[in-house]
Amino acid sequence: MKVCVVGYGAMGKIISEMLGDDLFLNVALECENKNFDNVKDKIDVIIDFSNPKNLDMIYDYSLKTKTPVVFATTGYSDSELKKIDELSKSVPVLRSANFSLGVILLNKLVKMATPILKDGYDIEIIEAHHNKKLDAPSGTAKMLLKSVLDETGYDVKPGRDGYSPRSKNEVGIHAVRGGTIVGEHEVLFCGTDEVITLKHSAQSKKIFATGAIKAAKWLVGKPVGFYDMEDVLFGEN
């Protein structure tokens, strides 16, 4: 199977190294904000760990060749997300804010806990990343937030400032940036005399590469449609 890795930053390099060691996979191309003009062989699947600016390039090539795409890039605008949804009507597309298998399980646990705890517990989300991360809150924090909002319909409180009491029907979301933190995500359910914490800490970026490769293997051969990592892990579709 031939995999095109779009993006050759830290994650692109890790994925390429891991694919090179896998006897069943072969890196067909490593793009660095370039294009697919020099791709002559058929690509089985694209893994995009680059920048939203590359979306048009990936969209055009995938639509033309019917190549499945794993979108691992974050920071997309609403219009760009709509374009990814549009692509999924013609080719198999998988997008996730996080490819750590542990984070996907964390999100599943949040979905399970929220309807049980929402009436008696305040819910807060905290994420921390390295000082070079551009988007805040992280895509993963937004994913966790969506899981909470889907079950509660609460208002979102980005950070805290000023002088006012906490509203019962709100979810706080907070971003920390510093040093070389790979990624930490924590969901707090704060009740009377007790706190329930669901937390994931990434120790290296390799876990995201492992998940993205697993997703790519899974996506090849799937029907046209939009998928996420819960489909890969739990067979939701």
Averaged confidence pLDDT in the chain? 90
Alpha helices in 24-138 (DSSP H): 55-65, 78-87, 101-117
Task: Give CATH 3.30.360.10 domain extents, the chain.
Answer: 101-202
Question: CB pairs under 8 A, 24+ apart, for 15-21?
Answer: 15/47, 15/49, 15/209, 15/212, 15/213, 18/206, 18/209, 18/210, 18/213, 19/213
**Helices 78-87 & 55-65 angle (0-180, nearest 10):** 10
Over residues 72-83, the pLDDT tens digits come to: 988 899 999 999
- The amino acid occupying position 65 is T
Does the active-site annotation cover 89?
Answer: no
**pLDDT recorded at residue 136:** 92
**Tokens 């979301």 — which residue?**
173
**pLDDT recorded at residue 21:** 62
**pLDDT recorded at residue 32:** 52
Task: Give CATH 3.40.50.720 domain extents, the chain.
Answer: 2-95+206-234
What is the number of residues in the chain?
237
Q: d(Cα 73, Cα 95) in Å, to the nearest integer?
A: 8
Does the active-site annotation cover 133?
Answer: yes
Q: Closest Cα to residue 157, out of 182, 128, 134, 123? A: 123
Residues 129, 142, 200, 217: which is the catalytic one? 129
**Tokens 């680059």 — which residue?**
50
Over residues 173-197, the pLDDT tens digits come to: 999 999 999 999 999 999 999 999 9
Q: What CATH topology corresponds to 101-202?
A: Dihydrodipicolinate Reductase; domain 2 (3.30.360)
**pLDDT recorded at residue 31:** 57
Largest CA distance in the chain: 63
Which parts of the chain have pLDDT scores under 70? 21-34, 236-237
Residues 108, 111, 133, 157: which is the catalytic one? 133
Superfamily of domain 2-95+206-234: NAD(P)-binding Rossmann-like Domain (3.40.50.720)
Pairing outcome for strands 2-6 and 26-31: parallel
